[in-house]
Structures are given as C-alpha cells and as structure tokens.
C-alpha cells in the first residue's frame, strides 16, 4: 500500500510513503508536480498491484482573506481532488486540527512540523529546491499527512 499526503497551500507539499514508512517522494505542491507524480505513482501501482490512499488537508477560508484569493484557493483544492478522482485514487479530506492532533502539533508553529517530521523520518530532504536553504513546512506536513493516512485511513 502507498500512502499519499497532500498539503494544498501555495507553499504546500506532496509526499508518499510505502508500507515500511519509506518516503517515496516529497516535493513542493504545484499543478505540474501533482500531475506528474500521481501519474508515475499510478503506473507503479498498476505494475505492482499495490493500493493507494490519500490524505488531503481539508482547507477553508481564513479570516481576512480576500474574495479573489479564496476563489483561487478553492480552484486549487478542486484541481487536486479532480486529479485524484481521474486516477481513481481514494482520498479523505482531513481537517488540519485532526491530523495535527495525532502528532501533538495543535497550536504549534510551522517549525514544530518540520522538527517532528525530521524525528520520524531522519535524513529526509525538506528543501523545496537544491538552491533553497530554508526547509519547507509544506513538504514536512505532506509527509506527516502520508503517515497519518497509513495510521488512520487503512
């Protein structure tokens, strides 16, 4: 079984782990990455007869967020769901409070997600690109969501 985690934010991430909790990929969220990695994952699943399940962070409007940015964010969330549906990948929308609670991350800053991810997955690369120096909380949260899927969404 393959477990997919999706943090749909503008600085979000996309990650997958296998049954042994080995990180298969962990990349920044973009439409291109989503389509390419899901396509590759889908082809690998067909070859190995593995299943896949996705945990997608359930997103909503934030206080003070403008109408245009809310609309754009909604379009992005719909795009993610559409890609998963088109590849027949089952997914569950999970509120951040739910998955973060399972890692004791409620009411903690983004650095806590990075540190928790590094403890659970030592040696994982959380840099969005080779040139970046700052680790991505979006990628770390996507990895944590994939682990949440493994633990809770079987």
Three-state DSSP state, 2 = strand
Q: pLDDT digits over 61-97, tens only?
A: 556 666 666 666 667 788 999 999 999 999 999 999 9
Q: What was the pLDDT predicted at 42? A: 87
Q: What one-character-per-residue DSSP string does 14-50 give? A: EEEE-TT--EEEEEE--HHHHHHHHHHHHHHHHHHT-
Which of 48, 50, 49 shows the shortest CA–CA distance to 4? 50
Three-state DSSP state, 53 = strand
Q: pLDDT digits over 34-61, tens only?
A: 999 999 988 887 677 678 999 999 976 5
Supply the pTM of this predicted model: 0.91
As a whole number of angstroms, the distance between CA 145 and CA 57 comes to 8
The mean pLDDT value for 25-35 works out to 96
Q: What was the pLDDT predicted at 104? A: 95
Which of 55, 36, 130 shows the shortest CA–CA distance to 98? 55
Three-state DSSP state, 4 = strand
Any idea what the Cα angle at residue 84 is, between residues 74 and 144, rounded to 5°?
Answer: 80
Q: What was the pLDDT predicted at 67? A: 66
């Amino acid at each position: 079984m393959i477990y997919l985690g999706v943090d749909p934010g503008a600085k979000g991430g996309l990650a997958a782990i296998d049954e042994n909790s080995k990180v298969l990929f962990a990349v920044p969220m973009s439409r291109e990455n989503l389509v390419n990695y899901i396509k590759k994952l889908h082809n690998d699943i067909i070859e190995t007869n593995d299943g896949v399940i996705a945990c997608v962070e359930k997103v909503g409007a934030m206080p003070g967020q403008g109408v245009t940015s809310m609309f754009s964010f909604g379009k992005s969330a719909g795009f993610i769901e559409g890609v998963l549906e088109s590849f027949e990948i089952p997914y569950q929308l999970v509120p951040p409070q739910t998955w973060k609670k399972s890692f004791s991350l409620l009411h903690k800053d983004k650095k806590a997600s990075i540190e928790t991810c590094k403890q659970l997955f030592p040696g994982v690369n959380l840099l969005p690109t080779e040139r970046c120096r700052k680790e991505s909380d979006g990628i770390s949260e996507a990895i944590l969501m994939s682990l949440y899927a493994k633990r809770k969404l079987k």
